[in-house]
Homo-oligomer: A and B are copies of this chain.
Amino acid sequence: MANMASGNTVAEVAHLIGDAARANMLAALMGGQALTAGELARHAGVTPQTTSGHLIKLTEARLLAVERQGRHRYYRLASPEVAQAIHALSVLAVAGPKRHHPIGPKDAALRLARTCYDHIAGRLALALADSLVREGHVILSDGAGLVTDCGRRFLTDFGINTEALHARRPLCRTCLDWSERRPHIAGQLGAALLGNALEQGWLMRTPESRALRITRSGEIGFATTFRLPLNWREQPGR
């Protein structure tokens, strides 16, 4: 069958995501970093040959983008829209009647702070969102969010150019947290917050995980800049 380089249907896109191996790869890429074909193979639990086939399909369908670097090939989600679609599906996946996560003994770090495609998730993200709302910098009405003038000044001081963000993406979106069940800040603002925190050395990515490590300066920086309550780590959410 002739391969039309463009135009997928909903069914075709869903069919691509609807395979365990491919879904695992996409989930791994939800961490926001580009991964090599080999790493993705390990995440998916299949051999490199099999992985290669999957990656070709995903790339041709424009769900992934590739970048060659020496003998490696780095794959990443092709666009924020892809991340959004996967997120929307994962909401349905968890939605089954009762399935409160079987505790994460080893994902304590993940619960504290992790990446969610391009922004921060976990309790840190909730604390930041609470702070921004409490201080009147951002107004959240569930799935929607808005940066106030006061918030714009605050973020500018923090080092985020709110003027430059007005591209196609929502300035401020919320994203349901996986561990806790409250929304945190996603969208362009969420991406900018993560970017700045990494740049300032407040957060560091961890190699083989989506977990984020909070540095010593980050401890202080977050607490003072965002006036976090002392107990923000324990707060189980609600």
15 more A-B contacts (CB under 8 A) besides A79-B95, A142-B168, A144-B172?
Answer: A5-B97, A6-B97, A7-B99, A8-B93, A8-B96, A10-B93, A11-B20, A11-B24, A12-B18, A14-B15, A81-B91, A81-B95, A141-B172, A143-B169, A144-B170
Of the listed residues A5, A13, A22, the one surrounded by the most CB atoms of chain B closer than 10 A to its CB is: A13
Within 8 A of B (CB), among A133-159: 139, 141-147
User: How many interface residues does chain A have, given as a range?
Assistant: 35 or more
Q: Can you list 22 pairs linking A and B with CB atoms under 8 Å apart?
A: A5-B97, A7-B94, A7-B96, A7-B99, A9-B23, A10-B89, A11-B19, A11-B23, A12-B93, A13-B89, A14-B17, A18-B18, A62-B92, A81-B88, A85-B85, A85-B88, A88-B89, A142-B168, A142-B169, A144-B145, A144-B170, A144-B173
Closest partner residue, chain B, to A183 (CB atom): B170
